[in-house]
Structure 1
Amino acid sequence: MLKKDILTSLMNNTRILSYQNEVKRKKFHLMSSLLPIYYYFLPESIIMFSLFLFLSVLSIDIYRMKFNKIPNIPFVKNIKNTIRPYEENNFMSATLLCFTAFVIIIIFEMQIAITSLFIASISDTCAALYGQKYGKIKLFYNKTLEGSYAFFISSMSLIYILLTFNVVDIDLTYLLIVSLTATIVESLTPTKLDNMSVPICVSLSMFLFINL
């Protein structure tokens, strides 16, 4: 009974935004791809930069929860209509992503961190937007099979690009498995947690294959 109540709560708290607001939300989300780009070009300062980013987003989030309003800061104030119900009295997914990114950058090597953060940023966006607009076959937490397909294709495309530019040095077969595993994890994770589960899954999978 308890498991059923928890599942129902998660399902109810994953209300779908209007497509227009979802697009706005994902525009903010895509900005997280600047972090792996920064890492690639300025690796020596990535820890301080990612820490600064996390603390900045955390400060905005704490202000939002304490005063029940978005800070009147240019650009930041535009997130108002992109807040999901489960974020109204809790940390935003963006805060969780920034925290996860900081931890991954500290623990894992560059190629792992860059790959996992790109997938968390871009593939998650593809899955959400494509799934909401074209999704027919429903999965868990308002996600769709079509969205998962978009996630898999986009993550494989990202991996191929990273291989082409020698950002990663892992066998393509292993990376295919990483992409498939991340797709499955993303589809089974509540929306409010997939900004953590996806990059962690990619990082751990790549770490295991590199050290086989």
Structure 2
Amino acid sequence: MPKPDALKSEAALSWKGELYRKGIHLSSLIIPIGFLLLDPRAVLTGLMGGLLFFALFDILRFFGNDDIKRFMGMNFGFLLRPREKKSFSGATTILLAGLLVYTFYEVKVAAASMVIIVIGDIFAALIGRSFGRIRVFAKTVEGSVAFIISTALAVQFIPGLSLRVAFIGCLVGAIIELLPLPIDDNITVPMIAGGFMQMVLANQQMLQKMIQP
């Protein structure tokens, strides 16, 4: 049985790794910022280039020789959650999600979707790990509340997105993040939250056209 000091040390390393991961995850905000500021060709080039790079990184982790796997594990292993060691990394899935939402949704919805997964995931994880007491599946209610509040504040900076549409996206995103779905939440949260926002926005636009003389 591990000694208490060993358990504390392991927990500290785990927490340090989580902070590193969330710091890197925060840099993913460059994706929605790019959606709003850059032309479509630049956005798609950046997303596809980044996706190709990190997918290649993952393939080397999976199929490289022992020396490559050892190098990857020693230098980058601390950035990966246990479930990511045998699956695609968070960088790969977040870039794939960015490509999907930018392709299928309006720009402001795509940007909101990515803000929701980036900000929501960070606050849900940190608050859940620090203060979470009420567990639902593998997550906490406190983390989900932090997800909703943090994302509801963050999406207010996206121009042209109504409060109603934004809040629905935040609420749906928190629910999807809470559920134990088989697909990575880096993909499911922005895709499903974005889908709901797009539907609500489309209904609003249709009603506006109907009432206009």
TM-score, normalised via structure 2 length: 0.80
Deviations 1:74-96 (A, max 9, x none): xxx75321222222222123212
Query: C-alpha separation between the residues in 2 aligned to 1:111 and 1:59?
Result: 30
Comparing 63-72 and 202-211, the one that deviates more: 63-72
Deviations 1:10-51 (A, max 9, x none): xxxxxxx82111111111111211111122221231111111
Percent identity, please: 30
1:38 maps to what in 2?
Answer: 34
Once the two structures are superposed, the pairs formed by residues 1-212 of structure 1 within 5 Å of their partners are 18-44=14-40, 45-67=42-64, 68-69=69-70, 71=72, 79-141=76-138, 143-162=139-158, 167-170=159-162, 172-190=163-181, 193-212=184-203
Letter in 2 for 1:27: G
Letter in 2 for 1:19: W
Letter in 2 for 1:201: I
> What RMSD in Å do the two structures reach over aligned CA positions?
2.1
Letter in 2 for 1:168: G
TM-score, normalised via structure 1 length: 0.80
Q: 1:186 to 1:124 in 2, by over 3 A?
A: same
Please identify the structure whose Cα radius of gyration is greater. Answer: 2
Deviations 1:76-118 (A, max 9, x none): x753212222222221232122112111111212101111011
Query: C-alpha separation between the residues in 2 aligned to 1:49 and 1:113?
Result: 15
Query: C-alpha separation between the residues in 2 aligned to 1:136 and 1:43?
Result: 45
Letter in 1 for 2:126: L
Query: C-alpha separation between the residues in 1 aligned to 2:125 and 2:181?
Result: 13
Query: C-alpha separation between the residues in 2 aligned to 1:139 and 1:94?
Result: 26
Query: C-alpha separation between the residues in 2 aligned to 1:18 and 1:155?
Result: 25
Comparing 123-132 and 95-104, the one that deviates more: 95-104
Letter in 1 for 2:136: L
Distance apart, 1:70 and its partner CA: 5.0
- Assess if the C-alpha contact under 8 Å between 1:189 and 1:197 holds in 2: no
Comparing 39-48 and 131-140, the one that deviates more: 39-48
Deviations 1:106-145 (A, max 9, x none): 121210111101111111111111111111111112x111
User: Looking at both structures, which has the greater relative contact order when contacts are Cα pairs under 8 Å and sequence separation is at least 6?
Assistant: 1
Letter in 1 for 2:19: V
